Amino acid sequence: MTANRFVRLLAASGIAVCLIAGCASGPGAVVPDEPPASADQTDSQRRARIRLQLAVGYYEQRQMNVALDEIRQALAADPNFADAYSMRALIYMDMGENKLAEENFLQSIRLSPNTPDFNNNYGWFLCQNGREKESINYFEAALKSRAYQSPAKALHNAGICSLKLKNRAAAERYLSQAFQYDPANPSTNTNLARIYFDQADYERARFYISRVVKADVLTADVLWLAIKIERKLGDRAAETSLATQLRRRHGGSAEFAAYQRGAFDE
């Protein structure tokens, strides 16, 4: 079992963001990639790498205590194994142990300051804990790395955190760049649609939200935003079709209740 799999969902600005490694559909924090085997590795380093692989597998199975024990054994074999500290930080973050999570995020960065995923992960942690201004510096650090193979993650996260800071210009810039790298990401598309809807640029808002609808990512908030966009553009047939889907899929939602009372401008 490798680290490059979906392991859980996080909420960010009302949109599902996956906790991933190498996932094209959404950034968030990322699980450390499996370190490559090397002829130069010592036996202790190889044992540590195997323990990390096991920890990731147990984490995916939601066996947190077992995963932590595997990390403990990995670090006993190789006390300077930065990937293991990063993985332990993600586990503690998931468990709500924020002090321990932060200690391990920082240790992974101390040991490997130029690893972009470590900076992205810590930035995401900060953003999720009311420290959005601090988080941007770490996303920028990740983006400066020429070795970063998936900059869409940090760009998306910087965009989400900029929205939390109510810095819409920065959010638009980051998310537009993220779109260039990963145009299929539903969170990026939905948030860009929201930005342009708020700017009364309804055609551009429609362009982005339609990509999400066509991908069948029909959450209540996506459908409600699409309905409001079509209403502004005067396409009553499209509005009615979307409203039918909202009623059928999310009839008990706050969004459908807002539609029923005609709260299009709330």
Asked if 36 and 132 count as a contact pair (C-beta separation under 8 A), the reply is no
| Greater pLDDT, 32 or 154 | 154
Provide the mean pLDDT of the chain: 88
| Apex 202 CA angle, 265 and 193, nearest 5 | 85
- Asked if residue 23 has pLDDT above 90, the reply is no
Give Cα separations from 133 to 23, 106, 239, 247 (angstroms).
26, 17, 38, 39
Per-residue pLDDT tens digits for 194-222: 999 999 999 999 999 999 999 999 999 99
Reported pTM: 0.82
Among the listed residues 184, 129, 127, the one whose alpha carbon sits nearest the alpha carbon of residue 154: 127
- Structural domains in the chain? 8-201 (1.25.40.10), 218-266 (no CATH)
pLDDT in tens, 75-102: 999 999 999 999 999 999 999 999 999 9
Per residue in 149-179, pLDDT (tens digit) is 999 999 999 999 999 999 999 999 999 999 9
Residue among 179, 233, 180, 135 at smallest CA distance from 192: 179
Model confidence band, residue 33 (pLDDT cutoffs 50, 70, 90)? low
pLDDT at residue 36 in the model: 56
Q: For residue 115, give the nearest of 139, 92, 88, 147 by alpha carbon.
A: 147
